[in-house]
Structure 1
Amino acid sequence: MNQAVIEVSVVIPVWNEAQHLQQTLKTIAGFIWQSTKSFELIIVDDGSTDETWAELMVVCSEIPQVEGIRLSRNFGKERALCAGLEHAQGQAVIIMDGDLQHPPELIPQMIDYWRSNTAKIIECVKKRRGKESFGYGMGAKLFYWLIQKLTRYDLHGASDYKLLDRQVVEAWAIMPERITFFRGMTAWLGFSRVQIEFDVAPRIEGTTSWKFTTLVRLALHAVVTFTSWPLSFVSIIGMMFFVGSVILGIQTLYMKLMGVAVTGFTTVILLLLSMNSMIMLGIGILGEYIAAIYDEVKGRPRYIVSQKTRNVRSDENISDQ
């Protein structure tokens, strides 16, 4: 029997979502059913330490279209997304979060846009970011402003909630880098796209697992993987200090020849502090790029799968497209 063609894959990375996983997946599956019976729901358990995998097994027994992928440890959301995308078989692939902050009621609309050949990428952008701390919101704005200035990609309001055509997924799959930034990578790919605005809903339960240090690390990865401008910045600052030192040296020599006592002890201290600060900043920037190169050349896999569910699909569960 020929394997049935899957029309839509939905990829959801989860981490410690046991309390609401069953409700979330049943809600999402209900909205997918409104548009297609030919789908798969791929849940990537990113090394959860609670009962997420056990809850997922229960859902798999109730909804045949659900498949689970369990990673051997917590590799981070970006790499969990990689696992889901690389296992997805659908002609279109939807990526979304597992806390219902990405409204599943948009799924039928996304699929309709895709079926009408309106665009290869249907991306949902945040009209309102929802409830978050002042510091988190300001940090997000600063991050997207830096990305736009450094890379020329406008990611304001961007989210991971997207539908990608099979052609886009295959183009994404040939990018071999180990350090990934999904939103930036899909922007870099190009292709025709349309945007759907949405308001970020409250989490169905609990609080976000994202920490400030995690967000800072993601921001550093995004900058390092998408622009070399910080390296040029170090060179520019170095040239500015060199020019300043030449001017200061000429002034000092002139005053010496004129017999004027050179005071300016405070100036010397300030110059030393500022120059040393810039040197340390330059070393830090270089270190980030060297660390990225080190991660790439090691060639380790992005993730390790420790377990998969073994759902056997039949033509009654997935119909031909």
Structure 2
Amino acid sequence: MSPKYSFIIPIYNEEETILEMYRRMSAVMDRMDGAVELILINDGSRDRSIHLLRDLHDQDSRVCYLSLARNFGHQIAVTAGLNFARGQVVVILDADLQDPPELIPDMVEKWKQGYQVVYAQRTQRRQEGWFKRFTAYSFYRLLKQLADVDIPTDTGDFCLLDRQVVEVLNAMPERNRYIRGLRSWIGFRQTAIRFERDPRFAGEVKYTFRKSLALAINGLVSFSTVPLRISTYVGLLAAIASILMALLVLYWRIFVPNSPLTGFTMVLMAIFFLGAVQLVSIGILGEYIGRIYEEVKGRPLYTLAEVGGFIRQQTKV
């Protein structure tokens, strides 16, 4: 019998949180009004995570797991879970328990009211440093201003998706996936549930500053062409500034021959300024070209090393 509810949880080196996560998820699953499957995706963990997933699968038939052949990243792990999910309602959440499983019944109630996407919106980030809060706050608002679609602020991947939405997401071929952006792009009836984000239950933070920055850049590049236009505008401004500087230097040479603003220093400043503009513009262009390169290679999004609890009918990944 196909499950009514599918819960997707990507896992990367989470051996310290898996058992507590399962305990809380099990309490939620017992309350649901239909058959449930818990899909745990091992994203190339180097600790004992995969062994714990096997044990949970042996203990509870509702637990299914996928083990990716290496670490492909959080967004690809979520995509793998979406490819294998069989439920009419699919919920995505993280294993660190910062996304409280106890919020799922409230999300299901919204689904029963006719909403096809229910996303969790953070009102507060408990025990997170000021730098993390500031950068996250700034990024979400910058993305909202620049993106071609309306991506809600302060939202992560914690959400409920109707089966119809999941089918549309699975049909999207793009490789540099930003799930919360794709979720907004596809449309359908959407609503928010607000919550206070808990601190991590145990273990180390997996989304380091470098990974968070890469995800932020991916979100901007995937849903906005404004950076390309900005580089064009900056280039035009640099050209105007260069013409004005040339006219000023000519003026000083003719009318103020002893001016300290003429000479080698002025030339160096102009060269460094124009060089910086060119490098920034090339870097922005490179981000877009790099994504074209990734798309045209046509490689699978991920490779599977082990599957537990599924009939392995999916071949296109």
Task: Compute the TM-score of the two structures, normalised by the length of structure 2.
Answer: 0.91
Tell which has more relative contact order, 1 or 2 (C-alpha 8 A, sep 6+).
1
Match of residue 144 from structure 2 = 148
Aligned residues: 308
Aligned to 2:134: 138
8 Å Cα contact 2:3-2:34 kept in structure 1: no
How far apart are 1:36 and its partner, in Å?
A: 2.4
**1:98 aligned partner:** 95
1:177-196 correspondence to structure 2 within 5 Å: 177-196=174-193
Task: Report how far residue 207 of structure 1 moved.
Answer: 2.4
Counterpart of 1:157 (choices 129, 134, 154) is 154
For the 8 Å contact 1:92–1:164, the answer to whether it is kept is yes
Q: Give the superposition deviation at 1:181.
A: 0.6
CA–CA distance in structure 2, aligned partners of residues 257 and 205 of structure 1: 71
1:76 aligned to 2:73?
yes
Q: String of CA shifts for 1:71-115, please: whole Å, max 9, x gaps.
A: 000111010000000110111100001121111111111112212
Label 1:88 to 1:241 Cα distance change in 2 as closer, same or farther (>3 A): same
Contact 2:122 2:194 in 1 (8 A): yes
Cα deviation for residue 268 of structure 1 reads 2.6
2:288 aligned residue: 289
Unpaired segments ≥5 residues, structure 2? 312-317
Amino acid at match of 1:122: V
Q: Distance in 1 between matches of 2:211 and 2:96?
A: 18
Question: Please, which moves more after superposition, 249-258 or 232-241?
Answer: 249-258
Q: How much does 1:281 deviate?
A: 0.7
Q: Distance in 2 between matches of 1:216 and 1:303?
A: 22
User: How far has the Cα of 1:170 moved from its partner?
Assistant: 1.1
Contact 1:32 1:108 (8 Å CA) reproduced: no
Contact 1:32–1:107 (8 Å) recurs in 2? no
How many percent identity over aligned positions?
32
Q: What's the secondary structure of 1:245's corresponding residue?
A: helix
**Residues 1:45 and 2:52 are matched in the alignment:** no
Q: Distance in 2 between matches of 1:255 and 1:15?
A: 63
SS state at 1:161 partner: strand
Matches of 1:140 and 1:181, distance apart in 2: 16
Structure 1 partner of 2:33: 36
Aligned match of 1:318: none
The answer (yes or no) to whether the contact 1:12–1:81 under 8 Å persists in 2 is: yes
Q: How many angstroms apart in 2 are the aligned matches of 1:293 and 1:40? A: 36
Aligned partner letter, 2:262 = G
Deviations, residues 241-298 of structure 1 (Å, cap 9, x unaligned) = 2222233334444555668566523333222221111111111111111111111111
Q: Is the 8 A contact 2:118 2:161 kept in 1?
A: yes
- The TM-score, its normalising length taken from structure 1, stands at 0.90
The match for 2:226 is 229
